[in-house]
Structure 1
Amino acid sequence: MLNLSIVLEDSAREAPDRTAVVFGDLRLSYSFVNTVANQVANLLVSRGVGRGDKVALACPNSPYFPFVYFGILKAGATVVPLNVLLQGREIAYHLDDSQAKAFFCFEGTPELPLGERGLAGFEASGAEIFFVLPATPLATESEFGETLWAALGGMSGEFEPVQTDPSDTAVILYTSGTTGQPKGAELSHQNMLLNAMVADTMFPSAGDDVYLATLPLFHSFGQTVVMNGGFRRRATLVLLPRFEPVEALRLMNAEGVTLFAGVPTMYWALLTTVHAGGGQVPTTLKTACSGGAALPVEVLKDFETTFSVPILEGYGLSETSPVASFNQPGKVAKAGSIGTPIWGVEMKLIDATWNTAEEIGEIAIRGHNVMKGYYNRPEATAEVMNDGWFRTGDIATRDEDGYYFIVDRAKDMIIRGGFNVYPREIEEVLMTHEAVSLAAVVGVAHESHGEEIKAYVILKPEVTITEEALVEWGKEMMAQYKYPRIVEFRDALPMTATGKILKRELR
């Protein structure tokens, strides 16, 4: 018996009155979060959801996320966290692909009409049960359907977690490969629990730890390192739904934040704000860790000088729960390096045929953190797995001390503001437009987002549409972080003899 919900249960039992979550003016104790999660578990069981069923959750960083996430796990079901920026059509795809039985969806705000998109996606899918997480605390009514609070009426706050095996799937995290359509990486209770535990050992404890949770909890980095690791440590999580540097700095100072985990663009934004006089450097910060993309060495140096805290860089993927390597305590941290493999994990460099590479190669990973496979995708799983090793698609070098340095993304992936964007998926959508004949999408350097998405488009003959109009159309069809902000019309695209577009000539 092993269930990831133990990270909450154990802390609720040992430190019931400690503050688990801070959200605006709300301060919720571990026992409170655990009680609501128990009610969610009772609700799911009462609606026929049980061990092995899939339950989707689309919610920004708010107390709803841990309430529902741990409630699903306690019921023995599998959590399918969805990116809150997905459009209705994309939500329907994820619900059907994961075979989700129920869906908890945040009602949204005028800026983020998630309830509307979520309901549209639910109605177009085969999912059976829809719960609304209302924007107004404790609201029992919503235009989109049954609210969580109405559904929890009369539910007991006691629940005996369903017995799950270590190998049962705890979470399905969606990630796109080069094939365009997102695939669900199946992560077991053991994958997720060990990764949270090992990641947690890498950060020194401040005694009363306070984490700023502004990385999205639906993403593997925020979920494992911040939420699950933080709850296991009995830390206080200060939730910030949308990263905004001025507000992040204000909260760090007001709440005495000791740990900040972010992607490189967040560090860049914090520095820019401090240098412009837009916020105070917090004095309580002890640990800063970065992942999701390579951190520019200049940012790393500037942050250490300005904040008096070194940034520890790590590396991982959704398929590896996510942490695989880290600049670890007790070892020298090397600027620009993703460190060395974490405890219980092996890494090596390989060539295209899985043979060990010496100087430079693709990173392959083996250990307790590697996924079971892609949900219902045996062929896709076989492409990336071999004898327990997972091939990442990331090209790296390794120095004489065993530290790894990322050289390039083998898969042409674009990282925009910490979100992975796969060009082929964007190209597929663009080519559904009646005016588009051919599209090639690349990442171009961008000062604050790291990379911006640019589409080179060949139009069909005798068609008139402006570049701006195509950008607007893309905005309607794709998530906020995916649609190309720059479109350039071309008469032709550079190609190889076999007709493959030469993207390196477009960047």
Structure 2
Amino acid sequence: MLQRQADRYGNRAFVTCGGVSWTFAETAEVARSWGQRLSDAGIGAGDRVLIHCGNRAEFLQAYLGITWIGAIATPVNTAFRGAQLAHVLANARPKLLIVEEQFQPAYDDLGKDAQLPPLLWPITADGIQTSGSTAHPALSGAAPVQPGDIAAILYTSGTTGPSKGVCCPQAQFFWWGIYSARALGVREGDVLMTALPVFHTNALNAFYQALLLGCEYVLVPKFSASGYWKTAADCGATVTYLLGAMAAILMAQPERPQDRQHAIRTALGGGVPARLQDPFHHRFGIPLVDGYASTESNFLFYNRYPSARPGSMGKLAKGAEAIVADEHDMPVPDGTAGELLLRPTEPHSFASGYFGMPEKTVEAWANLWFHTGDRVVRHPDGHFNFIDRMKDAIRRRGENVSSWEVEQAIMTHDRVEACAVYPVPSELGEDEVATAIQLKDGQSLPPLALIQYLETRLAHFAVPRFVRLMEAMPLTENGKIKKVVLREEGIVPGMWDLETTGYKIKR
């Protein structure tokens, strides 16, 4: 794809990131040259290369080089720490780790039992520092990959277990670009600006949108509410990408003249509450496109502004079949809630499974349907509405939080007898992480001390905001904690709130 588009668009601007700019032709040469370096280091087709890096040009250099030679890019969430990071290493078994210097201590803290790869390339202020190279034959072109070959493994938080590595084929990224551009109305020559983390599907698929449509891809180092519109104006952005909390944060900023001094024509607004869509459009002049997608599937539901059903997922677009099913995978009538099951109509346009987890793959793709784990309802007019997750998951600031992983970290504290982690509503939309704690007899544990204990063991977004100390947990007849009771009670009087302390989680 890249070589074909480089031949077509040549010196047209393509990638801009942190002061670095490449044309289409230059980007193809970046891919070839970094593919050569990787090949010289012994990396070949099918080898996993872990990339632990923020939104910077070095991420793209590594990603392009890896995919150019048919190896498998394995980005890791930059917030992963402790057991989460150790699990990714053990599951992916990478041959090379490319890591930004600021994140290197997370690996040093894992201890001697960590399954570190044999090769390490640090990213310093001077770029990626390569090592272990032996001259190999010069690459004449990209590896002859097939549509079903894995391009990347993207780790998503589990619900009742550790993170799963989603195997994303080459063709899935092609269709991500096509389907997302269709939903947003992207057209040739647009400037696509994203501040979302590039280790997630959203920012990666914006790259493919730009590649396929002949657009410019602007990767912003990080989201800044106060500077967002100036950045958009400076780069000439015409399309941008927001998640629910980001839109709420932008709306909370003081009104400024820059609010409308931009060229943005449309924006992804996934998860933006219906109540914010009119005010957002009135203030910033940007219609938001809501929708539904997952790392395992694709962007197949979208709902453009203005909508007859604001806040809904929209209608199913061409590219997949969908049913709302009961616990036996049988369709339920319109207006009845059930699990959303999806099946692609284009080969390899969905993920091919979970890396190294065959039992989870079989479970998720049972009966030849991908089981999303999302409870939805279909209306007679064809619109779908998301209700909640079927299992115990939390969505915070655009990140999936595994309650299981947080609970495992809490239970390593020697003063904790039992705990439950669950979502409570956030004033910014989505969820906040709450935990109920039962201490061992005779023990005390200030909530802030617990938070300080957890911040070195969990991603910053997974550290609970609310702590509820319990004399005893609500239990089922079988002795399991009744989380439904805790969720329904929500934020109760006297519940400890990190936001009121002024303490800032270390990142």
TM-score by length of 2: 0.89
Q: CA deviation at 1:199?
A: 1.9
**Where do 5+ consecutive residues of structure 1 fail to align?**
1-5, 109-113, 140-146
Q: CA deviation at 1:389?
A: 0.7
Match of 2:222 among 226, 239, 242: 242
Q: What SS does structure 1 have at the residue aligned with 2:227?
A: helix
| Aligned-partner residue type, residue 348 of structure 1 | I
Q: Distance in 2 between matches of 1:82 and 1:333?
A: 39
Q: What SS does structure 1 have at the residue aligned with 2:472?
A: coil
Match of 2:289 among 304, 309, 312: 312
Give the structure 1 partner of residue 161 of structure 2: 180
Give the structure 2 partner of residue 143 of structure 1: none
Change (3 A) 1:434 1:105: same
Q: Distance in 2 between matches of 1:282 and 1:498?
A: 60
Match of 1:342 among 317, 322, 336: 317
Q: CA deviation at 1:89?
A: 4.2
| Aligned-partner residue type, residue 216 of structure 2 | T
Change (3 A) 1:98 1:24: closer
Q: Distance in 1 between matches of 2:415 and 2:179?
A: 51
Q: CA deviation at 1:415?
A: 1.0
Change (3 A) 1:408 1:33: same
Q: CA deviation at 1:64?
A: 1.5
Q: Is the 8 A contact 2:259 2:284 kept in 1?
A: no
Q: Distance in 2 between matches of 1:132 and 1:406?
A: 42
Give the structure 2 partner of residue 14 of structure 1: 8
Give the structure 2 partner of residue 392 of structure 1: 372
Give the structure 1 partner of residue 195 of structure 2: 214
Q: What SS does structure 2 have at the residue aligned with 1:421?
A: strand
Q: CA deviation at 1:351?
A: 0.8
Q: Distance in 2 between matches of 1:278 and 1:79?
A: 42
Change (3 A) 1:363 1:31: same
Root mean square deviation, CA, Å: 2.4
Where does 1:24-423 land on structure 2 (aligned, <5 Å)? 24-108=18-102, 114-118=103-107, 124-134=114-124, 136=125, 138-139=126-127, 147-148=128-129, 159-205=140-186, 207-224=188-205, 226-273=206-253, 275-277=254-256, 279-291=258-270, 294-320=271-297, 322-327=298-303, 334-358=309-333, 359-367=336-344, 368=346, 369-423=349-403
Q: CA deviation at 1:159?
A: 4.4
Q: What SS does structure 2 have at the residue aligned with 1:103?
A: strand
Q: What SS does structure 1 have at the residue aligned with 2:471?
A: coil
| Aligned-partner residue type, residue 132 of structure 1 | P
Change (3 A) 1:251 1:68: same
Q: CA deviation at 1:88?
A: 4.8
Aligned length: 481
Change (3 A) 1:372 1:23: closer
Q: What SS does structure 1 have at the residue aligned with 2:461?
A: coil
Q: Is the 8 A contact 1:178 1:424 kept in 2?
A: yes
Shift >3 Å, 4+ stretches: 118-123, 147-159, 275-279, 331-334
Q: In the TM superposition, what whole-angstrom CA distance separates every residue of 1:220-261 from its partner, at most 9, and x where no partner exists?
A: 12211x122122223222222221112221111212211111
Q: Distance in 1 between matches of 2:307 and 2:321?
A: 19
Q: What SS does structure 1 have at the residue aligned with 2:87?
A: helix
**Where do 5+ consecutive residues of structure 2 fail to align?**
491-507
| Aligned-partner residue type, residue 459 of structure 2 | A
Change (3 A) 1:374 1:154: closer
Q: CA deviation at 1:107?
A: 1.9
Q: Distance in 2 between matches of 1:472 and 1:35?
A: 46
Q: CA deviation at 1:150?
A: 7.2
Q: Is the 8 A contact 1:324 1:365 kept in 2?
A: no
The percent identity for this pair of structures is: 27
Q: What SS does structure 2 have at the residue aligned with 1:222?
A: helix
Q: Is the 8 A contact 2:245 2:428 kept in 1?
A: yes
Q: Is the 8 A contact 2:87 2:162 kept in 1?
A: no
Give the structure 2 partner of residue 144 of structure 1: none
Change (3 A) 1:102 1:23: same
Change (3 A) 1:49 1:174: same
Q: Distance in 2 between matches of 1:207 and 1:269?
A: 30
Q: Is the 8 A contact 1:61 1:213 kept in 2?
A: no
Q: In the TM superposition, what whole-angstrom CA distance separates every residue of 1:425-458 from its partner, at most 9, and x where no partner exists?
A: 1111111111111110112222236322111100
Q: What SS does structure 2 have at the residue aligned with 1:166?
A: coil
| Aligned-partner residue type, residue 31 of structure 1 | A
Q: What SS does structure 1 have at the residue aligned with 2:184?
A: coil
Change (3 A) 1:182 1:445: same
Q: CA deviation at 1:157?
A: 9.1
TM-score by length of 1: 0.89
Q: What SS does structure 2 have at the residue aligned with 1:481?
A: helix
Q: In the TM superposition, what whole-angstrom CA distance separates every residue of 1:168-220 from its partner, at most 9, and x where no partner exists?
A: 11111112332221111112112222222222233334543111121111111
Q: Is the 8 A contact 1:39 1:159 kept in 2?
A: no
Q: Distance in 1 between matches of 2:367 and 2:328?
A: 13
Q: Distance in 2 between matches of 1:151 and 1:15?
A: 35
Say whether 1:488 aligns with 2:464: no
| Aligned-partner residue type, residue 325 of structure 2 | I
Q: CA deviation at 1:471?
A: 0.8
Q: CA deviation at 1:391?
A: 0.9
Q: In the TM superposition, what whole-angstrom CA distance separates every residue of 1:339-359 from its partner, at most 9, and x where no partner exists?
A: 122322111100111111122
Q: Is the 8 A contact 1:470 1:487 kept in 2?
A: no
Q: Is the 8 A contact 1:169 1:187 kept in 2?
A: yes
Change (3 A) 1:82 1:449: farther
Give the structure 2 partner of residue 429 of structure 1: 409
